[in-house]
Structure 1
Amino acid sequence: MLDHSPTPTPVRVPLVTEPWGILKSLQEARRNVLSIIPQIAVKQRMVSGKTGKRWHMVMDPQAIREMLLDRVDDYPKSVVTKNLLKPAIGDSLFIAEGAHWRWQRRAAAPVFSHRNVMNLSPIMSAAAERAASRVTQAGPRAVNMLDEMVTTTFDVIGDVTFSGGDTFDRDAVHGAIDDYIAEAGKISLFDILGFPDWIPRPGRLMSGKALKEMKAMADGAIDARAKRGHEGVPDLLDLLLDGEDPKTKRKMNTSELRDNLLTFIVAGHETTALTLAWAMYLVGFDQAVQDRARAEAQNVLQGRACTGEDVEKLPFIRMIIDEALRMYPAAGIISRTAQKQDTLGGREILPGDTVMIPIYALGRHEMLWDEPDAFRPERFKDRKAIDRYAYLPFGDGPRICIGASFALQEAVIILATLLSRFRFTPVQGKEPEPVMILTLRPEGGVWMTAEAI
């Protein structure tokens, strides 16, 4: 008798199958932003509606290209996005617009050149080695790989930012970031309705003291480094202090440096940690993939630490990272506000409309991917065969994530190090739930036991 039961697939978000009113949408969005995505978003090229104001979800690659590349100034980041993040990272690269964004981008671009990213790889390797030691020390006990990856990537960002050991309380900064994401990241009804910034958002006041302390510590560290100068390989802070806009010769002042530094600290550890946690979940889900990845890592590393030069020799490990980003993108939705009347995908867009790209739905769209809910790293073997605007874990166009190469190098080094040393087995009954507030997290953690090889 043939077994016709469906092949098991990794965890996914249950998408909406019925229309919701504004209060229901708000209630669900505060628990999981992705829960507002309708099921038809993985079957159609555009979905439109009204929840307090007009909105559109765009899954058509050509229309996405028009938004992110061809008419980028007509679709700035939405008021909701800015209201959520501005208290923490000011008017930094992530949310600045127009000329203010352009000069900052030009000044910061050399920081993430291939040479500088490669120069920082020993820090990534050392953090990966410390992670392997902690997993070894846990012995037969289950380890929450989400917590472990958060610790590891914060190790990296702390060391690449402040290699000189400046007076910067990492635990305090880490705590402030977590508090802010937990409280301030919950979408407020005021944000949905587009109320002005000066109206206080419930919950966001709770994290104000921690944020002030975090900014004061960053300002102090920047001033101390500017006076002392740097020694050895320049770190992120050194590179930002030296950076200038090649067109205007403008350099960042202390507050601009601080806002961008905090942006890189928040974005540079949280998103990579989540990608790695989901990758660990997936290799636990499919042991055959894990075995193949381990063989590749062991063949390349031969028992030594993983380096930046090894990354290009680990194509299957990179495919696992790419597939984890497709299935569980850290930024599950990006939101823009239309500035003028337009047509996207044959649909009328009016000034003030919220236009969203649900990256989570794009990565699982039935018209763009074969078996989109299945874990198949091999789909990234030929990256040229994938529509550039069907796969956007780092965005695209002029506002593509400036730290993408840094994050990918770090993720490959850490994943290869761990898989070369251990066989990971998931703890039964502890499946994570994909929940997005600001980022798409595996709620409940990624619990695994590790057997040393």
Structure 2
Amino acid sequence: MQITSPPPRPSARATPPAHPVRVPLVTAPMGVLASLRAMRRNVLSIIPEIATRQPMVSGRTGKRWHMVMDPGALKHILRDRLDDYPKSEVTKNLLRPAIGRSIFIAEGADWRWQRRTVAPAFSLRNMRNLAPIMSAAAERSAERIGAAGAQPVDLFEEMVSTTFDVISDVTFSGGEGFDRDGVHRAIESYIAEAGKASLFDILGLPDWVPRPGRLVTGSGLRAMKRVADEAIERRRAAEATGVPDLLDLLLAGADPESGRHMSTQELRDNLLTFIVAGHETTALTLSWALYLCAFDPDVQDRARAEAQAVLGMRAATGDDVDRLPYIRQVLDEALRLYPPAALLARTAQRADVLCGREVRSGDTVLLPVYALHRHRLLWEDPDAFRPERFADPRAIDRYAYLPFGDGPRVCIGASFALQEAVIILATLLARFRFTPDPGRAPDPVMILTLRPEGGVWLRAEPVAAEV
């Protein structure tokens, strides 16, 4: 295992703060039923503490599994032998009812043509063209936070609303009669219940065996898909005007190799994927970043000084993003401590050797990003909040930090998410000083993503611009 040498800290704090909230990892083996109970409460609670100290941990809970934390082995899985380690059937079974066979779930040739088709929509030029939508949403968020006065605000709910505004406007800028609230409710309902792993998943039973929780939410998902299909068809028949939004870009997209365009169903499944991923992960990153800034006032003051020096009191724009390096470091460190996709699962398709250990065809290979980001051999004081770790990205092993995955299947929306997060965080920090609401610390809980259970309750005090 390679060892990262973090860059030296610019200065030592007189009284370093305690570590921010974290997930207690397992210190004793668990059986199938205990694992099921733990997973339905918090998927990360099945990670053994030793996973933060070893390159690889293996076991059996219904099926053989291996947790891999070694950067070299992770490169092997994610880049060198991509087709030999597709996403696990459990992951696909959890998500397929909501997002069909979109780019997130597809494998092999089906995934490749979809990726080629949608990639141009996420070019840097297109992302910068969409930045004004992000700036407007940041402005509205600041107004809502300011209206709360001295009352604490749940910044998690506020960031969910803000980022859903962004992805809705980016996706359906023309309105199309699209029921945004209905789509949001259907997605949240599905994740809340049907997204939880069942005993059938742990035992490896096939997808055609019904999972009771997923039957409950089926009608809401069907209605959501019907509304999305109607919106797509209306857009097909309309004349394009103004700056193209994501739907325009995808309708115009074609596979450069075959010339194939996406059908309405394929467009819908991918749009719903982008809507889910495009607001959920960014909302989580912002929520955790605001929690961490309230947790560490020194970091918050430094980030605010940078934001005000660049922005004054206006909202950040796409042109400001590259001039806010410390804001970006705060977000990178939030993604390290609380990665939204904190545990990835793959299924080995053929026999292999990882870290000198046998892997058999059919074994589950887990990539516990949460443990990787807090690994004792890869990070100095890994549970501490230190944005300056990312002052020199070259000092960090590429495969020791995987908030967006890596390899050919790296998250296609990573640049979109980071641009949005920098714009919103800088705008809010320039205008408010955030402090914790006593006794209401968030609890890191992962079902499909790593959420702050209980919310991120902070008080927001307006601040004046520094002269």
For normalisation by structure 1, the TM-score amounts to 0.98
2:214 corresponds in structure 1 to: 204
Alignment correspondent of 1:235: 245
Select which of 20, 24, 28 maps to 1:18.
28
Residue 186 of structure 1 corresponds to which residue in structure 2? Answer: 196
Determine which of 257, 271, 276 is the counterpart of 2:267.
257
Offset at 1:230?
2.0
Does 2:124 align with 1:124?
A: no
Q: How does 1:427-442 map to 2 (within 5 A)?
A: 427-442=437-452
Equivalent-residue separation in structure 1 for 2:26 and 2:250 (angstroms): 44
CA distance in 2, matches of 1:192, 1:175: 28
What's the offset of the Cα at 1:167?
1.1
Does residue 419 (structure 1) correspond to residue 423 (structure 2)? The answer is no
- Deviation, 1:379, is 0.1
Work out the CA distance in 1 between the residues paired with 2:314 and 2:34.
53
- Match of 1:401, as an amino acid? C
Give CA deviations for 1:10-42 in whole Å, capped at 9, x if unaligned: 000000000000100011100000000000000
Provide the residue aligned with 1:275 in structure 2: 285
- Within 5 Å, which residues of 2 pair with 1:26-425? 26-425=36-435
Q: In 2, Cα distance between the equivalents of 1:197 and 1:21?
A: 23
Partners of 1:157 and 1:269 within 8 A in 2: yes
Aligned to 2:321, the other structure's residue is in SS state helix
Offset of residue 7 of structure 1: 4.8
* Partners of 1:230 and 1:198 in 2: CA distance: 42
Deviation of 1:302 (Å): 1.7
Partner of 2:4: none
For 2:78 and 2:424, locate their aligned partners in 1 and report how far apart those are by CA, in whole Å: 31
Structure 2 counterpart of 1:114, which letter?
Answer: L
Whether the aligned pair in 1 keeps the contact of 2:287 and 2:456 (CA below 8 Å) is: yes
Question: Is the CA contact 2:62–2:204 (under 8 Å) kept in the aligned structure 1?
Answer: no
Which secondary structure does the structure 2 equivalent of 1:12 belong to?
coil
Quote the offset at 1:229 in angstroms.
2.9
- 1:447 paired with 2:427, answer no
**What's the offset of the Cα at 1:197?**
1.3
Distance (Å, rounded) in 2 between the aligned partners of 1:110 and 1:345: 37
The answer (yes or no) to whether the contact 2:17–2:296 under 8 Å persists in 1 is no
Q: Distance in 2 between matches of 1:147 and 1:305?
A: 20
2:177 touches 2:231 (CA, 8 Å); kept in 1? yes
Distance (Å, rounded) in 1 between the aligned partners of 2:280 and 2:27: 31
The separation in 2 between residues aligned to 1:197 and 1:167, in whole angstroms, is 34
| Aligned equivalents of 1:30, 1:118: Cα separation in 2 | 39
CA distance in structure 1 between the aligned counterparts of 2:61 and 2:17, rounded to whole angstroms: 37
Q: CA deviation at 1:6?
A: 8.5
Asked if the contact 1:184–1:204 (Cα under 8 Å) also holds between the matched residues in 2, the reply is yes
CA contact (8 A) 1:164 1:230 kept: no
Deviation at 1:191, TM superposition (A): 1.1
Q: Secondary structure at the match of 1:48?
A: strand
For the residues of structure 1 that align with 2:119 and 2:317, how far apart are their CA atoms? 23
Whole-angstrom distance in 1 between the partners of 2:444 and 2:26: 15
CA distance in 1, matches of 2:342, 2:39: 13
The AA in structure 2 aligned to 1:333 is L
Per-residue deviation, residues 60-95 of structure 1 (Å, max 9, x unmatched): 000000000000000000011000000000000001
Distance 1:141 1:211 in 2: 36
CA deviation map 1:296-325 (0-9, x unaligned)? 000000222210010000000000000000
SS at match of 1:429: coil
TM-score (norm 2): 0.95
Query: In 2, Cα distance between the equivalents of 1:294 and 1:130?
Result: 19
| Amino acid of the structure 2 residue aligned with 1:55 | W
The letter of the residue matching 2:91 is T
Identify which range, 198-207 or 387-396, moves more after superposition: 198-207
Assess if the C-alpha contact under 8 Å between 1:144 and 1:447 holds in 2: yes
Alpha-carbon distance in 2 for matches of 1:416, 1:307: 10
User: Residue 430 of structure 1: CA displacement?
Assistant: 0.2
Question: Following the alignment from structure 1 to structure 2, what is the Cα–Cα distance between the partners of residues 231 and 218?
Answer: 20
Cα RMSD (Å): 1.0
Aligned-residue offset at 1:273: 0.3
Q: For residue 203 of structure 1, give the secondary structure of its aligned residue in structure 2.
A: helix
Runs of 4+ in 1 over 2 A off after TM superposition: none
Contact 2:342 2:369 in 1 (8 A): yes
Q: Which amino acid in structure 2 is aligned with residue 151 of structure 1?
A: S
Contact 1:336–1:356 (Cα < 8 Å) also in 2: yes
What are the ranges of 5 or more consecutive residues in structure 2 without an aligned counterpart? Answer: 1-14
